[in-house]
Amino acid sequence: MTHISAPHRNRPGAHGRGAHDGAGDRALTLQAQGVTRSFGDTEVLHGIDLTLHRGEIVALVGRSGSGKSTLLNCIAGLDPGHGGSIEVHGSRAVAFQEPRLLPWRKVVANVSLNLDGPDPKSRARTALAEVGLDHRADAWPLTLSGGEAQRASLARALVRDPDLLLLDEPFGALDALTRLSAHDLLLRLWDAHRFTALLVTHDVEEAVALADRILVLENGSIAHDVSVPLPRPRSRAHPEAVALRELVLDHLGVHGADVRPSHSRTDRVDTAGIGAADFHATPARAQEI
Ligand SMILES: Nc1ncnc2c1ncn2[C@@H]1O[C@H](COP(=O)(O)OP(=O)(O)OP(=O)(O)O)[C@@H](O)[C@H]1O
């Protein structure tokens, strides 16, 4: 595995929960060790080790069939058939590409479904307000637009105040403009709640725009761990963002890179030392895999 390191920013969490890994004072949200998963005779995950620190946003990319959803389901506790150990410090919630709202319940009832604690409906309304959907609380799910339904799904995850938010291509079905607004929304919510997020995505640009780290899954193993040490808000056109995108695309085996440092290539992108003049940019390359 290639690990590309960068200084970690220490984010105080919104909550006082969590274990510590002894490396500085960074609380852990997830420790997974030697995670395996087989379907029949086929091993899909080959002993994954993964540590997520509190408040990190980590993107998981990989070619179709590399095992991203399988790993996310194992971490979500939705697939008990895995080997190895998965320790989550705190609570977790999941949002999928399909919002999975029950059509026979109003939006607010979907968000408050199976919610423990006092006054679930009013907490659900607060969560809907956070995603800008309070005015649709009493609507039926089938009357929502795709973007609204996805925001309702985010509200349903958020209302549980998760320490770990697991997102399986949550923006994959949205049009480009709605997807950009959804990115902004996710970052606003993260800023307010400081949950840890693991985001499965096919969109490398999305990964660079949102994540602190990008993990590249290759045939059931984490082959690369790329730090994204760019301050937020991020410009997608910034040369450093472009360089990281290209690096990840290369790791994914998407050939024909047309944007790369003019100096010899290494696995490290030293974003502090790279300027626009170091790149020959042609913005013609597909960002999705
Ligand atoms: N329940 C299952 N039974 C049998 N095989 C499965 C099952 N779930 C997943 N697989 C197989 O495991 C492999 C990994 O699937 P997974 O859905 O995790 O990949 P992925 O990286 O998320 O793919 P995609 O990007 O296309 O969504 C695939 O070959 C898939 O066919």
DSSP the chain: -EEE--PPP-PPPSSS--EE-SSTT-EEEEEEEEEEEEETTEEEEEEEEEEEETT-EEEEEE-TTSSHHHHHHHHHTS-TT-EEEEEESS-EEEEESS----TTS-HHHHHHTT--SS-HHHHHHHHHHHTT-GGGTTS-GGGS-HHHHHHHHHHHHHTT--SEEEEESTTTTS-HHHHHHHHHHHHHHHHHH--EEEEE-SBHHHHHHH-SEEEEEETTEEEEEEE---PSS--TTSHHHHHHHHHHHHHTT-------BSSPP-S---TTS--GGGB-----S--B-
Q: How confident is the model at residue 273 (pLDDT cuts 50, 70, 90)?
A: very low
Atom 10, ligand 1: residue with shortest CA distance: 39
Report whether residue 97 contacts ligand 1, using a CB cutoff of 6 Å. Answer: no
Chain centroid offset of residue 55 CA: 12
Report whether residue 39 contacts ligand 1, using a CB cutoff of 6 Å. Answer: yes
Report whether residue 41 contacts ligand 1, using a CB cutoff of 6 Å. Answer: no
Return the pLDDT at 178. 87
Model confidence at 27: pLDDT above 90: yes
Q: What is the pTM of this model?
A: 0.83
Return the pLDDT at 20. 63
Report whether residue 263 contacts ligand 1, using a CB cutoff of 6 Å. Answer: no
Kindly list the domain boundaries of the chain, sorted by start residue.
Answer: 102-160
Cα angle 10-16-22, degrees, rounded to a multiple of 5: 50
| Residue 68 CA to ligand 1 centre (angstroms) | 8
Atom 2, ligand 1: residue with shortest CA distance: 39
| Residue 97 CA to ligand 1 centre (angstroms) | 15
Helix axes of 146-158 and 120-130: crossing angle, nearest 10 degrees: 130
Return the pLDDT at 123. 95
| Residue 287 CA to ligand 1 centre (angstroms) | 22
Return the pLDDT at 264. 32
66 CA: nearest ligand 1 atom: 21
In whole angstroms, give the CA distance from residue 54 to residue 277.
36
Contact (Cβ atoms closer than 8 angstroms) between residue 197 and residue 57: yes
| Residue 86 CA to ligand 1 centre (angstroms) | 19
Report whether residue 92 contacts ligand 1, using a CB cutoff of 6 Å. Answer: no
Please give the share of the chain, as a percent, with pLDDT higher than 70.
79
55 against 283, higher pLDDT = 55
Report whether residue 116 contacts ligand 1, using a CB cutoff of 6 Å. Answer: no
* Ligand 1 site-directed mutation target among 70, 73, 94, 96, most atoms within 8 Å of CB: 70
Find where tokens 């349903």 sit.
156
pLDDT tens sequence across 37-68? 999 999 999 999 999 999 999 999 999 999 99
ipTM of model: 0.98
Atom 3, ligand 1: residue with shortest CA distance: 39
